């Protein structure tokens, strides 16, 4: 039986958008050419993410200026989940406070 692969993205204390993207790159083990923008995040989720589950923590602890970026990221993850479900390769997305 295959062991479940879980990606945990911890956003606790992020102060800058670049810091969020650095944590995304590390958590998802994205290649060095990750463009650190939302289009690149979407592209690499589709081509590189083989996780069974993604857990996002600390989104509520980022600076107020980044709350829109966190919402954008959550929307991308939800869209990715819908695509995976449609393709018959479901992924679980868990957003924790």
| Domain chopping of the chain, boundaries | 6-95
Indicate the CATH number for domain 6-95. 3.30.370.10
Angle, alpha carbons 74-60-39 (nearest 5°): 30
The per-residue pLDDT for range 21-71, each reduced to its tens digit, is 999 999 999 999 999 999 999 999 999 999 999 999 999 999 889 999 999
Residue 22 confidence (pLDDT): 98
pLDDT at 2 over 90: no
pTM above 0.85, yes or no: yes
Helix axes 38-48, 67-86, angle to 10 degrees: 30
Q: What was the pLDDT predicted at 1?
A: 63
């Amino acid at each position: 039986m295959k062991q479940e692969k879980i990606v945990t993205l911890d956003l606790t204390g992020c102060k800058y958008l670049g810091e969020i993207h650095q944590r995304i790159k590390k958590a998802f083990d994205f290649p060095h050419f990750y463009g650190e923008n939302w289009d690149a995040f979407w592209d690499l989720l589709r081509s590189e993410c083989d996780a069974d589950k993604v857990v996002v923590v600390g989104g509520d602890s980022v600076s107020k200026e980044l709350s829109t970026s966190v919402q954008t990221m959550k929307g991308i993850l939800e869209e990715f989940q819908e695509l995976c479900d449609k393709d018959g390769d479901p992924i679980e997305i868990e957003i924790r406070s």
